[in-house]
Chains A and B, each alone.
Chain A
Amino acid sequence: MNADFGRVMLVVLFALIPIAGIALGMRAPALRSKIPLLVAFFAGLIPIFSMYIPKRFLSGDGGMSPRLDEWLIIVAGFALLLGITNVISNSYRKISRKERNWPYAIVLLVGLFTMGGFGIYGAVSHQGTGFLPDGSPTPFRWVETTVFQPLQSTIFALLAFFMASAAFRAFRARNTEATILLIAGAIVMIGRVPLIEFLAAPFPALQPAAASAGQFMGKATEWIMDVPNGAAQSGILIGAALGAASMAIRVILGIERGYLGLGKGE
């Protein structure tokens, strides 16, 4: 069995069976709800089998498992079209009904059509979306570097301020747990920066003691991060991994159907 066999099986499992199911489901709605479960069953089993069966039709280059990942990209591409359609229709509705904050919808549509237009122009004129032969940017690239990327960086930079405000709230010693958090946080912060050495810099007599204290805080930081923090993270990861595996089994067996909007299992 070679890669072609895998290709044929994929078409049968994920194209012919769903189409046949939809056709049959026109007359029997109960059957219609079974088809997504069947598709999920096969889609879940193929990557698991490919973990243990190295046959080329299943897990080799162009086999069922890697090809299934490629199909996901294709499906996502079509879903993106649905998303864009949704953005346009929602914005149009807001503008036409003059709903609350409707001017923002105009800004959104202008941005969407401008970037989309530059992208299509780049494709039609064979310029692409990068740089022209003389080194100057295409209109698409120019808007991206001068408008989009600075805005993106601005939003990311907000993280520093949000981190400070969140730390301020988290480190208030309201109860025992918060006090432990405060102490541990203070040790880690002092251990990560040469604060003690900096404070002792004007006093040469204190510098050896400050250096020793700095080393001690560094070791204490290392211990906090490796031992209590590492143990807690490992516990969370093991629990989450088992939870994810359990969820995956429920999805593959069709017990968990909430993600399909099918309601209760059984």
Chain B
Amino acid sequence: MFGRSCDFGGEKPVDTTTGGSLVSASVRLTASSLVVLTLLLCAAPAGAVAPVTTPPPPPELPAPTAFVAVDRPGDGGNAILLTWTDPAPLPEGTVLEVRRSEPPADEFGELQTVKPGAQRYVDASAEDGKTYRYELRVRGVETPDSLGIAGAVGPALVSDPVSPHDNWFRTERTNSLLAVLLFITFILTSIAAARSGKPIFIRRIAGLNAVDEAIGRATELGKKVLYIPGIQSMDEIQTIASIAILGHVARATARYGTDLDVPNKDPLTFVSAREAVHSAYLAEGRPDLYREEMVHYVTYDQFAYTAAVSAQMTREKPAAIFLVGYFFAESLILAETGQSTGAIQIAGQADPTQLPFFVATCDYTLIGEELYAASAYLSREPVLLGSMRGQDIAKAVLLAVGIIGIIAVSLGATWFVDLVRTQ
């Protein structure tokens, strides 16, 4: 694997005793007469004749060692990793020159110059399926070569042939994978425990307890329940959580015979919401109460949607409003309009940026993880509750790791940071 030393790739070594400096002085002498002249000059008394000085021979540039070229591990291909050890000491003003050739061609072409100290280089211009050889040598930017021209190069190391390819595992994400597997283990063991009938304690969540209260209020007043599932699509986990909660709300409205209205901004959310509401009415044995227009599409534009839903709130004055899902700037406009109509409002959001608006304007707010817990909390299904317990165990482990990390870093143990750093 290690590189081997080779000649200068076409640049022939120069005999310094017959160097170009003498040629440039236009004194053409043979090698023997030069030796005689040098001896005479050395023997002459000082100050007698102006001395003819010979420039010092250019310094020998050292070669790097342990030069290795391998396929970059854990990547998606098209990259070669070169590593080496810089020679010590490396003269001032030198760089390392990386050159590449594609066999069967032997000629190396310039690829990159690397500053001393890097000791690694990734050739991201390599292509999968092709074989390359790399050459590494030290170049003195200001060091004259044997011809007196700056840019002398040292002996080169040539790598073994290497081909890039895509890999099966990102080794740098091993810690992340272990954490994910541990988390899944917590969830699955907790679900298994819940299935065995072990009672699971879940703390009281006021916002979820108020769901039935809000729908009951709407029923008593003979007004509708407005459910707004956020403005994001079904690729957003908060929207998926919101649609799951919508299913429970729809079951309650079906039970009580209360009118439900679900305006949608995203077309995929619209289709999913319609399916969830329809299924809820069927499950409650009240398909007669279900109407297609209960779940309707409004528009794809954020503020046009906000205007339409705000106007609907003002005109129809629903008794209960649910704002559950992912919201952006429209959160406060919708919640404040709903507040002005006197409706009981329940909001749910996991993103902290919009939470203060909901806390200020809504009667109940599901904060962060409560949004994801809602489905389990409302259905009381042991399997779903078990997953919540697993989530809490993971949280406790995370807290412990955080405390250990604080102590470790305070004591100067940087290895801990490297251990948990993800890439």
Contacts and interface: CB of A to CB of B under 8 A. Distances in A.
A114 interface: no
Contacts of A237: 352, 368
A159 B332 contact: yes
A260 B275 contact: yes
Contacts of B315: 101
Contacts of B238: 244
A16 interface: no
Contact of A255 (B268, B332, B368, B384): B384
Nearest to B373: A243
Contacts of A167: 360
Interface in A214-243: 233, 236-240, 242-243
Contact of A156 (B303, B336, B381): B303
A72 interface: yes
Given A80-B300, A265-B383, A236 B375 contact: no
Contacts of A261: 247, 272, 275-280
Contacts of A72: 233, 235, 268
Contact of B369 (A159, A240, A256, A258): A240
A178 to B, nearest CB: 10
B110 interface: no
B400 interface: no
A124 interface: no
Interface stretch (A19-27, A49-57, A202-210): A49-57
B381 to A, nearest CB: 6
A255 B234 CA distance: 17
Given A159-B333, A169-B361, A249-B187, A79 B387 contact: no
Given A159-B329, A245-B183, A255-B191, A79 B395 contact: no
Interface string A249-266: 111000110111111111
A246 interface: yes
A117 interface: no
Interface size class of B (residues with CB under 8 A): 35 or more
Contact of A242 (B176, B243, B395): B395
A30 interface: no
Contact of B307 (A151, A165, A255): A151
B140 interface: no
A258 B373 CA distance: 13
B270 A82 contact: yes
Interface size class of A (residues with CB under 8 A): 35 or more
Contacts of A151: 303-304, 307
A247 B359 CA distance: 24
Contact of A60 (B76, B277, B335): B76
A248 interface: yes
A123 B278 CA distance: 38
B300 A90 contact: no
Interface string B395-407: 1001000000000
A138 interface: no
Interface in B182-236: 183-184, 187, 191, 233-235
Contacts of A247: 237, 240-241, 372, 375
12 contacts: A51-B176, A54-B170, A55-B166, A87-B297, A239-B368, A240-B350, A246-B394, A249-B184, A258-B247, A261-B275, A261-B278, A263-B279
9 A-B pairs closest in CB distance:
A261-B279, A258-B244, A243-B372, A243-B369, A83-B297, A79-B267, A240-B350, A240-B368, A239-B369
Interface of B: 74-77, 128, 166-170, 173, 176-177, 180, 183-184, 187, 191, 233-235, 237-238, 240-241, 243-245, 247-248, 264, 266-268, 270-272, 275-280, 283, 293, 296-301, 303-304, 306-307, 315, 329, 332-333, 335-337, 350-352, 355, 357, 359-361, 367-373, 375, 379, 381, 383-384, 387-388, 390-391, 394-395, 398
Given A246-B390, A256-B244, 13 more contacts: A54-B74, A76-B268, A79-B271, A83-B300, A166-B335, A166-B336, A167-B360, A240-B351, A240-B371, A243-B391, A256-B384, A259-B234, A263-B247
